[in-house]
Each structure stands twice: as C-alpha cells, then as structure tokens.
Amino acid sequence: MLLRHTPKEVTERKALTINPAKTCQPIGAMYAALGIKGCLPHSHGSQGCCAYHRSTLTRHYKEPISAATSSFTEGASVFGGQANLLQAINNIFTVYEPEVIAVHTTCLSETIGDDLPQIFDKAIKEKKVPEGKTVLGAPTPSYVGSHVTGFSNMVKAMAALARKSENRNGKVNIIPGWVEPCDMEEIKRLAAMMDVKINMFPDTSGVLNGPLNGEYHMFPDGGTPIEDIKSSGDASGTLALGEWCSADAARTLDSKCKVPCSVLDMPFGLQATDRFIDALRKIAGTSVAEEVSAERGQLVDMISDMHQYFYHKKVAIFGDPDQLISMVEFLVAIDMCPIHIVTGTPGKKFERRIKEITKDVPYEVNVKAAGDMFLLHQWIKNEPVDLLIGNTYGKYMARDEDIPFIRWGFPILDRQGHQYFPTVGYKGGIRMLEKILGVLLDRMDRDNPEEKFELVY
C-alpha cells in the first residue's frame, strides 16, 4: 500500500496539511504570462521557485517553459531585490529580446516588501526597458490563496494594462481561465463558428502545444499580442470564465474602462457550455450556428447512450474550484453522484456552490474548500466510490483503494495527450464521457467472472 499510513478515522488537523490539492501562487502567474505573445515570465525571488515552477509546467505540458529569475541570495533578501531585478530586466531584454516581461513576486520578495511598480519606474528611467517593450507585474505571495490565485492575479495585471479609446472595437473579451492550451483553442473555435470576434487573454495555444520541426523559438507565434490586451478596454463586453480565475480581471476592465462583464462558469460539460454559448450569442447579438447546436446534440446523444453505466455511480473529485464547479454539475447532469469533493483553494463560496449543485444527490456529500487529499482519501475509505477524478497525484489513492481513475486538472505528470484534447465545450464533454465510460468498462472487463465477461455492452 502506497499510502498505508492513512487512517480511516478522520481527525481534525489545524496546522498540518498532508498531500495538498493545491500549490502556490507564482506557478499560476507563470502559466498565465506564457499566454502573452513574446512574453518571458520572470520570478522575483530566489531561483528555486522559478526552477520548481518551470519543472512542473514542463512536466505537465511536455513543452519548453522559459522563465527567468532574480536569483536572490542572502544579500538580496536582506537589502531588497531591486538591484537584482534591474539587472535582470537589462539582461533579459539584451539576451532574449522578448516583447514583454511579466514579473511575479514570490513569498520571499513579498515578505521583504519589494515594490514592483517603483522598480519598474526606475528601470524605465534608467532605460533598461527598450522603447516599445512592456514590463508588467503581479503580486503573488505564496502564502495567500493558491496557484489559481496567482493565475488570477497575473491576468488581472494584464487587464490593468487595458486602455479605452474613442472607438469600441466590436470584439468580445474572453478570459478563459486556467485551462489547457487545447481548451483555449476550442473556445476560439466555438467563437469562430458563431462568427463572434473575440479577444482572448491569456492564450497559451500555439505557445504550449508547439510543433517539433528542428527549430526552437523561445517565443513561438501563439499568445495574445500585448496590443490586443491593451485594446481590451475597447471591447463591447467581457465574458470571464470562472469566478476564481477570471473575475478579477473582468471587473478590473469594467471599473477601469467601463467594459461590462459577465462572470460565467468554465464551459465544462453540458449546462456550463450551454450558458457560455448563450451568453456569447447574446453579447455578440448573433444566433447560434447550426454546427454548434449539432455538437450539443451529439453530446446529449452520448449521455443517453451511456446513461445506464453512469446512473448513481459514486465519484470522488478534486481540482481547482472553477473547473470543479462545472465538472460536478456535469456529473450530476449525467446522474452520477459526486460525493467527495476537495479543492485546496480556499473560499467558502465554493462549498456553497457545490452544496447547491449536489443538493439532490441521494448520498451525503462531503465538500471542503481548504481541504487536502489526505482528507479526501479518508472520506473514500469511509464511503468508497466507483470513480476518482483529479490530477496525477490521485493515482496513489486510486491504486491503494482500487478505484478507476481519470486524470483531469493540473498537474498531470505521468500521462500525455491532455495538452491536445480539449475538455471544454460540447466536444470536450464528449471526450470526458468517453474517458469515464472507458475506465468503468475496463473495470468490469477486469473484474467480471469468465461467464459474465461479455463482448457486447
């Protein structure tokens, strides 16, 4: 047993987190920054943070993740990191020639109180920032929130660059939140099918799913151009996908540039995708393309075909709040019973939303925002489930408890393909159903006695 010291009995822990379902802010900021075209993320702190974040993102996306660091030593930690950051900005623009440097803080630079805007001003005055290039920054103390908070803070910093001109540009801003590059591509595809002109940021498609052709470009063609981010103040409206990931940025645009915003759930599964498509249709004043309705119909068709296998099956799921809210809703919609739900990211609102979505589930539903995977495992020991959904780290529980397991969320370190196959939208919903049915039937094929081993399901 891999986790054989996990007791069945749940005792309250006040200080000790075991097997966290979250990680820290800067990695989210780094991922978001990669969604700006020509941007080098920069971690302001000691170099280990940057190394860890790059390693984890690299292992998840199987793509090069370039990011620089201020490489604090003890001296910088005592006297402040200004000298390091100024030197870094100069070196970065000279050696790597990015269009943008997106700086995020770490718990180290936050604790000593480095003031990013002041350092940027100094860098500009000292001509360390070449003409036409951009430096932006986000505070991402690791001891507040989670990786999701860091993502949100960096996207908010992008929105803060927006300006308003005389002319509306007729576009809809879409803030997709922390989803895979292929999900962002899928959102763009859906919008294109609906003939809606969108301005999406961040956009890691084309950055983190690049081709292999014998050339390495530190800054691939993908990503949202900084000019587009700046012009998001001229859009006719903003759709923010995910309260935790995207709402702050959308509200910044609203208050700064008077771009009206609507905060939706991330479009995972049937209903959340319905709401997204409906909102897109209304905000753009267009009708829904027939192809989109057809894709929806295919998803509904699959639900009806597969329903017999899903009905009242119990599920444990962990991940990020925006993703969980929509996915739990989807599970309920296909008559599965999500009963143990943990996100490491704190927020009481999450628990309320989940309780509301699962109110008719015919089992007791355990949900905890600031929970960890150790607790989730204990819940599973007390009330076993038929399916576990979560990131790679779930595999230890899945093996110990012998539960069919689907990798979904961040990080996925031990499987590939998740960077190419979207799980948002109707197509994404179809893929999710296919995965769920696959593991459930694999289990039946494995466990059924010979006389029950059947060709036809």
Partner 1 sequence: MGKAQKAVQWDPTDIKQKLLEKYPPKVARKRAKQILINEAQENTTPEITANVRTIPGIITMRGCTYAGCKGVIMGPTSDIVNLVHGPIGCSFYAWLTRRNQSDASGHENANFINYCMSTDMQDSDIIFGGEKKLELAIQEAYDTFHPKAIAIFATCPVGLIGDDIHAVARKMKEKFGDCNVFAFSCEGYKGVSQSAGHHIANNQVFTHLVGKSEQEKTDKYKINLLGEYNIGGDGFEIDRILKKCGITNIATFSGNSTYDQFASANQADLSCVMCHRSINYVADMLETKYGIPWIKVNFIGAEATAKSLRKIGAYFADQELVDKIEEVIAEEMPSVKAICEDVLPRTTGKTAMLFVGGSRAHHYQELFSEMGMKTLSAGYEFAHRDDYEGREVIPNLKVDADSRNIEEIEVSADPELFKPRKSEEELKALEKSGFEFKEYEGLIPDMDKDTLIIDDLNQYEAEKLVELLKPDIFCAGIKEKFSIQKLGIPMKQLHSYDSGGPYAGFKGAINFYQEIDRLVTSKVWSYMKAPWEENPELSATYVWE
Contact 337, 362 (CB under 8 A): yes
63 counts as binding partner 1 under rule CB under 8 A: yes
| Residue (326 or 345) nearer to partner 1, CB | 345
| Residue (146 or 232) nearer to partner 1, CB | 146
| H or E element, residue 322 | helix 321-333
**Spatial distance between the Cα atoms of 289 and 292, rounded to a whole number of angstroms:** 5
Query: Residues with Cβ < 8 Å from 286, sequence gap 6 or more?
Result: 194, 195, 196
- The distance of closest approach from Cβ of residue 282 to partner 1 in the complex, given in angstroms and rounded to an integer, is 40
Contact 240, 246 (CB under 8 A): yes
**Spatial distance between the Cα atoms of 157 and 111, rounded to a whole number of angstroms:** 20
The structure tokens 């998840």 sit at 60
**Spatial distance between the Cα atoms of 368 and 203, rounded to a whole number of angstroms:** 30
**Spatial distance between the Cα atoms of 345 and 152, rounded to a whole number of angstroms:** 12
- Report DSSP state, residue 402: T
Which of 32, 34, 69, 407 lies at the binding interface for partner 1 (CB under 8 A)?
Answer: 69
- The distance of closest approach from Cβ of residue 117 to partner 1 in the complex, given in angstroms and rounded to an integer, is 19
**Nearest partner of 354 among 315, 384, 300, judged by Cα:** 315
Tokens describing residue 392: 């790679």
- The distance of closest approach from Cβ of residue 105 to partner 1 in the complex, given in angstroms and rounded to an integer, is 12
Tokens describing residue 279: 């909102």
- The distance of closest approach from Cβ of residue 209 to partner 1 in the complex, given in angstroms and rounded to an integer, is 12
| Residue (144 or 441) nearer to partner 1, CB | 144
- The distance of closest approach from Cβ of residue 66 to partner 1 in the complex, given in angstroms and rounded to an integer, is 6
Query: Residues with Cβ < 8 Å from 190, sequence gap 6 or more?
Result: 276, 277, 280, 292, 425
Residues numbered 261-300 forming contacts with partner 1, rule: CB under 8 A: none
One symbol per residue from 29 to 58: x for binding partner 1 (CB under 8 A), - otherwise; what is it?
-------------x--xxxxx-xxxxxx-x
- The distance of closest approach from Cβ of residue 65 to partner 1 in the complex, given in angstroms and rounded to an integer, is 7
**Sheet arrangement for strand 366-368:** 366-368, 337-342, 314-318, 387-390, 405-407
Longest CA–CA span in the chain (Å) reads 79
418 counts as binding partner 1 under rule CB under 8 A: no
108 counts as binding partner 1 under rule CB under 8 A: yes
75 counts as binding partner 1 under rule CB under 8 A: yes
CA separation, residue 102 to residues 153, 154, 155, 229, 421 (Å): 12, 8, 11, 13, 28
| Residue (77 or 271) nearer to partner 1, CB | 77
92 counts as binding partner 1 under rule CB under 8 A: yes
Which of 11, 167, 304, 308 lies at the binding interface for partner 1 (CB under 8 A)?
Answer: 11
Backbone φ and ψ of 372, nearest 5°? -135, 175
One symbol per residue from 354 to 383: x for binding partner 1 (CB under 8 A), - otherwise; what is it?
--------------------x---------
Contact 95, 67 (CB under 8 A): no
Which of 29, 33, 39, 107 lies at the binding interface for partner 1 (CB under 8 A)?
Answer: 107
Which of 216, 420, 453, 457 lies at the binding interface for partner 1 (CB under 8 A)?
Answer: 216
Contact 174, 190 (CB under 8 A): no
260 counts as binding partner 1 under rule CB under 8 A: no
**Spatial distance between the Cα atoms of 388 and 21, rounded to a whole number of angstroms:** 14
| Residue (142 or 358) nearer to partner 1, CB | 142
- The distance of closest approach from Cβ of residue 283 to partner 1 in the complex, given in angstroms and rounded to an integer, is 37
| Residue (414 or 445) nearer to partner 1, CB | 414
Q: Please, which residues bridge with residue 102 across strands?
A: 41, 136
- The distance of closest approach from Cβ of residue 303 to partner 1 in the complex, given in angstroms and rounded to an integer, is 35
Which of 132, 212, 360, 450 lies at the binding interface for partner 1 (CB under 8 A)?
Answer: 212
26 counts as binding partner 1 under rule CB under 8 A: yes
| Residue (4 or 125) nearer to partner 1, CB | 4
13 counts as binding partner 1 under rule CB under 8 A: yes
Residues numbered 141-200 forming contacts with partner 1, rule: CB under 8 A: 141-144, 146-147
Side-chain half-sphere CA neighbours of 399 within 13 A: 9
20 counts as binding partner 1 under rule CB under 8 A: yes
Which of 33, 36, 88, 336 lies at the binding interface for partner 1 (CB under 8 A)?
Answer: 88
- The distance of closest approach from Cβ of residue 211 to partner 1 in the complex, given in angstroms and rounded to an integer, is 9
| H or E element, residue 269 | helix 269-284
Which of 32, 68, 266, 376 lies at the binding interface for partner 1 (CB under 8 A)?
Answer: 68
Contact 105, 69 (CB under 8 A): no
Q: Site for partner 1 (CB under 8 A): how many residues?
A: 85
Helix (H, G, I), strand (E, B) or coil at 174: strand
348 counts as binding partner 1 under rule CB under 8 A: no
- The distance of closest approach from Cβ of residue 35 to partner 1 in the complex, given in angstroms and rounded to an integer, is 18
| Residue (151 or 268) nearer to partner 1, CB | 151
**Spatial distance between the Cα atoms of 432 and 270, rounded to a whole number of angstroms:** 11
421 counts as binding partner 1 under rule CB under 8 A: no
